[in-house]
Amino acid sequence: MMDKQPIMIILQPDVHYYPKQVEYWADLYPFVNKLLRLFHHLEKTKHVVSVQIALSSSYYQIFASPEFQKEMDSYLKQDQEVLQYWHVVDKNINKLISALLLGKSIQVLATSTGILPYTTTSVGTQLQIRDSLTCLQKHLQIKPEGFWFPYGMYAPGLDLFLMDHGFSHTFISSETIKFADPPPIHEGRRIVKSPHGLTIHPIHTDFSEQFSNQKIEMKDWLAQTSASSEEAVIYSDISTLLARLDELEKKNLILQESERENLSQTEENVHLCQSFLPEVTPHSLFSKDLAYSWTYVHKMEQLVERNSLYHKGESIMDELIEEWLDATGRISTGLTIDKNSYKKFYPLKDEHLERKEQKRKVLLLSWEYPPNLVGGLARHVGALAENLVKIGFEVHVLTANTGELPEIEAVNGVFIHRVEPLNSRDPDFLRWIGGLNLAMERKARELRFIHSFSLIHAHDWLVGACAMSLKTLLNIPLVTTIHATESGRNGGIFTEMQSFIHKKEKQLIEHSEHIIVCSVYMKNEVIDLFQSSENKMTIIPNGVEHVSHHQTKYSTIGMPFVQENGRLIFSIGRMVQEKGFETIIDAANELCATFKDIYFVIAGRGPLLEEYRSKVKEYKLENHFYFPGFISDQQRAEFFSMCEMAVFPSNYEPFGIVALEAMAAGKPIIASNTGGLKGIVQHGTTGLLMNPGDRDSLIDQASFLLANKEEARTLGINGKRVADSLFSWNRTAELTKRVYEEILIESKMVIQK
């Protein structure tokens, strides 16, 4: 505990933003006059004090303008003391601020041009933050750690944007923190952390109001603030700060940066609601005079996002962004917007409308999407999306962002929108999925103002809540692909969680206009489990990627123990019970005794990986097994190229896309006689079938292939022909297109009725 009450003072100017035209600068000159007095005072002060300065980018840009320096020269003739100091610092305020920063007399906070809670898109929010950082880097050569929200206006989720851009702390009204969830121990008077780890300093609005009241003597104000056990953060205008500064410095009460760092070590994690400072309410920014201007600001922002990928780096796009930033600054200061600012960018709008007429837009929902791979679902959705683009659709994918990936990007023609779950750090998977669905729905609400989607295509129950909500919100059809069921994965419904997921699957199926499954087996399973109508279901097999062949030495892939002429048996999938990998381990003991030159690679990750490794140790087969964990597409291609055969011993497998990839690579396969696998493999012609979970059955099939190389080669050739002719992703996309067209026609007929 410190023996004095530290105070952090944030200088917030009366006017948040100034346009670059000189006719708007009348109020700027007296502010700069006082700012120079403040800087001169701080420069002369012997001990270090820290005042936080929050100026929008317009200030630094104007400070660097020769026209401003000339006008300031004229204005300061009425104040000879400041005029003399103005010439001492070469009329260069930005250079002066940099010098004061080095001397730690001040700290600079980044702040946006517009009011962030009133931006309507993620692209707009990012541009606002980046504009501030770019300006400070250009004019002061710094990247600040603190961020100030104009007028203290904050909304949930903005903390994530600040963290993504490298900020460590910000400031929010203590009244907002007081009613956070869960309620903090010290009723909003101490530092807390946001859900995404951003440090939040409470702005003491009561202290700020008392500080600005000149009738309250400084000793009485200090007595009030001393009741708080940590820092007192206040905001002030420059006139009040100048009047009060001497008294504060005498008591050495202004918080230094090193002290701020020490204070941030005992923070509670809380969820915060929308916030603003007392003198500014949301209603005061939406007067009748500004209503027309707000319309154009939002239209310009939508135009920015709509064209951010199509025209990135082009001069017309840079000009649009600059105009939009200026418009957000003007309206945040109460200035109206000229509608011609929007009209001059109509060529961009017209080009987009042309594109809209040419292509139907599909919104795909999937909890995983490349390069974020958990299972086969991501590969399926990725390949389908790219091939739908090839046949004329505009495809937008909404998915989870679980790594450092862009929030929006275009990859192979697919527009990918990634969102962070609202409760991204929640260890409970079902709650995490709930937070993901809320975040996806929020993003889709943004996108609907920019894109006119024709239909929604959901993939499995994990995105069901979002899909059902958007179907109602957007009033468009919902198509769902059921890749697997909870009952099928577990051989029934036995636990409370399984029952919950089963109900979610049923809800999604009932709310969908059409259901796509990958095999006859899956169609029958869905009908039996959910009493779904056969008329609303279509079987569309998964496609297969053609694997490039690569020759690789065993030693380069973590298998130095393999003999030069060793024969490799490969399998891949999630390390879960339904994939049946324990059957391979059980069969390996006898197979290795008969065929001493064979080795097994089982790739993938999952909850049973360590259990399988332990089982291999028990059998003393460590020199015959390799578990590489997750492998890249390149590594997968290498293993398919190197292996003698591929084995897929699943206990439950709706389709078996990796089995198809092995066939496409020309390798003989052994697959379980279950689910979709038995529909792919014709025993003795395109591969071999084994009984699920039967080690002896696997031993028989593997022994046949190992002992009969020519027959094995023939099976591989036949399997490749089938994979190439029947299971291409182009064919999958074409069949999906038929479903879309039928559903869209049906929906139009319903509307007409």
Token code pair at residue 503: 């109900």
Residue 629 neighbours by CB distance under 10 Å: 11
Q: What is the rounded distance in angstroms from the CA atom of residue 151 to the CA atom of residue 117?
A: 11
Q: pLDDT tens, 381-408? A: 999 999 999 999 999 999 999 777 888 8
Q: Where are the domains of the chain?
A: 7-282, 286-356, 359-539, 554-727
Q: Which of 670, 665, 625, 628 is nearest to 646 (CA)?
A: 670
pLDDT at 694: 96
CATH of 359-539, one of 3.30.1540.10, 1.10.287.3510, 3.40.50.2000, 3.30.70.660: 3.40.50.2000
Residues 6+ apart with CB under 8 A from 701: 670, 688, 689, 690
Q: Which fold does the domain 554-727 belong to in CATH?
A: Rossmann fold (3.40.50)
Q: Which of 425, 446, 423, 449 is nearest to 434 (CA)?
A: 423
Q: Which helix (H) or strand (E) holds 75?
A: helix 66-75
Q: Which helix (H) or strand (E) holds 505?
A: helix 496-511
Bridging pattern class, strands 688-690 and 199-203: unpaired
The burial class, CB within 10 Å (0-12 / 13-18 / 19+), for 81 is: exposed
CA angle 627/629/631 to nearest 5° reads 115
Task: Please answer whether residues 216 and 210 qualify as being in contact, where contact means their C-beta atoms are separated by less than 8 angstroms.
Answer: yes
Distances in whole angstroms, Cα of residue 168 to Cα of each of 141, 151, 206, 245:
18, 19, 25, 27
Q: Is 585 helix (H, G, I), strand (E, B) or coil?
A: helix
Indicate if 554-727 has the same CATH topology as 7-282: no
Superfamily of domain 7-282: Glycoside hydrolase 38, N terminal domain (3.20.110.10)
Phi, psi of 10 (to 5 degrees): -110, 120
Q: pLDDT tens, 475-488? A: 999 999 999 999 98
pLDDT at 229: 46
pLDDT at 413: 92
Distances in whole angstroms, Cα of residue 254 to Cα of each of 2, 5, 476:
13, 9, 58
Task: Please answer whether residues 591 and 644 qualify as being in contact, where contact means their C-beta atoms are separated by less than 8 angstroms.
Answer: no
Task: Please answer whether residues 512 and 480 qualify as being in contact, where contact means their C-beta atoms are separated by less than 8 angstroms.
Answer: yes
Q: Which of 494, 118, 545, 129 is nearest to 300 (CA)?
A: 118
pLDDT at 354: 43
Residues 6+ apart with CB under 8 A from 69: 91
**pTM of whole model > 0.85?**
no
Q: What is the rounded distance in angstroms from the CA atom of residue 207 to the CA atom of residue 235?
A: 9
pLDDT at 280: 53
- Give every residue of the chain whose pLDDT is below 50, as ranges: 1-3, 47-49, 229, 253-260, 262-265, 281-283, 350-357, 555-556, 751-753
